[in-house]
Amino acid sequence: MYGSIEAGGTKFVCAIGNSKLEILERVSFPTTTPDETLEQVAAFFKQYQTQLASIGVGSFGPIDIHHDSVTYGHITSTPKLAWQNFDFVGTLKKYFNIPIAWTTDVNAACYGEYVAGNGKGLTSVVYYTVGTGIGGGALQNGAFVEGFSHPEMGHMLVKRHPEDTFLGNCPFHQDCLEGMAAGPALEKRTGTKGENLLAEDPVWEIEADYISQCAYNTTLMFAPDIIIFGGGVMKQDHMKKKVQEKFAKLVNHYVTTPAVEEYIVTPKLGDNAGTIGCLALAQDATINA
Ligand code: ADP
Ligand code: ZN
């Protein structure tokens, strides 16, 4: 059996799965302090200790992913103070001395869609989550795109919509995608949480404008086979079509992408993309160990 940890800023989701990447058991608890939360994580996996081969972790970040770094496996400069410089993998290893795969939450979801979702069989897959924040991960030939660190595509700059007076919500950048288009930006603009906004609300045109700029930038940077948009905000069914249409206008036939209905999509695995990705990464870690 394999373990999955989706470490989010508001909640942790832990799961157990088998070699077919079927989810057998899943629990969730709020993210509090590292000590308290990791104790809960450990208590869950202890029940399966004799069968547990490895664990895959998809974490909020930024995180240190470089194996040769002294702070490998740490969460680094997160605004969540209690978690700054927390040695996540090291702490987990103290509880379970088995292979631990370690990547970002969005990379894990990207991997899930790549092995078992809409990215299956493709070479180049990009995944974004549009939720409390916006994050992106990219896979090329089965390997995550990374350099000095993992990408932070959610903070790309976007061109302000002419009717948008909202100043943005990111403490680091003006007019970055996350600050303009993550769930909290929708809520601050309208005074209403995204899930409670009507599909006819004009704010969705602005929202789709920013997400289509993201798809446009992604297309020209990576020319991927597919761009998958997940996260709470994309549960608005009307959004996908709006983004596809605005994207086509932005590209203006400059490049010929795959048919937009198959190119800009939502995750086939839905909310399970991250968990299945973590299970698959855990499985890979046993092979590579
Ligand atoms: P997280 O990013 O914390 O893992 P979500 O992906 O569910 O979790 O994102 C939460 C954000 O998405 C919140 O800002 C919430 O208001 C918004 N949201 C959640 N569900 C919907 C929905 N159905 N439609 C629009 N916005 C939503
Ligand atoms: Zn930003």
55-111 pLDDT tens trace: 999 999 999 999 999 999 999 988 889 999 999 999 999 999 999 999 999 999 999
Q: Provide DSSP, 188-200.
A: HHHSS-GGGS-TT
Separation of CA 285 and ligand 1 centre (Å): 31
Q: Is 232 in the pocket of ligand 1 (CB under 6 A)?
A: yes
Per-residue pLDDT, 67? 93
Q: Is 171 helix (H, G, I), strand (E, B) or coil?
A: coil
Separation of CA 20 and ligand 2 centre (Å): 38
Confidence of residue 114 (pLDDT cuts 50, 70, 90): very high
Q: Which amino acid belongs to residue 235? A: K
Query: How far is residue 1's CA from residue 15's CA, in Å, rounded to a whole number?
Result: 10
Count the Cβ atoms, other than its own, within 10 Å of residue 141. 6
What tokens appear for 93 in the block? 């290893």
Ordered by start, the domain boundaries in the chain are 2-107+271-288, 119-266
170-180 pLDDT tens trace: 999 999 999 99
Q: What's the mean per-residue pLDDT of the chain?
A: 97
263-283 pLDDT tens trace: 999 999 999 999 999 999 999
pLDDT of 289 above 80: no
State whether CATH 3.30.420.40 applies to domain 2-107+271-288: yes
- Residues 180, 242, 222, CA angle at the centre, nearest 5°? 70
Q: Could you identify the atom of ligand 1 that is nearest to the CA of residue 193?
A: 16
Omega before 62 within 30 of 0, i.e. cis: yes
Contacts within 8 Å (CB) and 24+ apart, 187-190: 189/164
pLDDT of 288 above 90: no
Same fold for the domain at 2-107+271-288 and the one at 119-266? yes
pLDDT of 30 above 90: yes
Separation of CA 105 and ligand 2 centre (Å): 17
Separation of CA 79 and ligand 2 centre (Å): 12
Q: Is 154 in the pocket of ligand 1 (CB under 6 A)?
A: no
Q: Is 164 helix (H, G, I), strand (E, B) or coil?
A: coil
Q: Could you identify the atom of ligand 1 that is nearest to the CA of residue 182?
A: 14
What is the CATH architecture of 119-266?
Answer: 2-Layer Sandwich (3.30)
Query: How far is residue 231's CA from residue 73's CA, in Å, rounded to a whole number?
Result: 25
Q: Is 58 in the pocket of ligand 1 (CB under 6 A)?
A: no
Q: Is 55 helix (H, G, I), strand (E, B) or coil?
A: strand
User: Which residues 6+ apart lie within 8 Å of 134 measured at CB?
Assistant: 128, 154, 155, 177, 178, 181, 182, 214, 231
Count the Cβ atoms, other than its own, within 10 Å of residue 143. 8
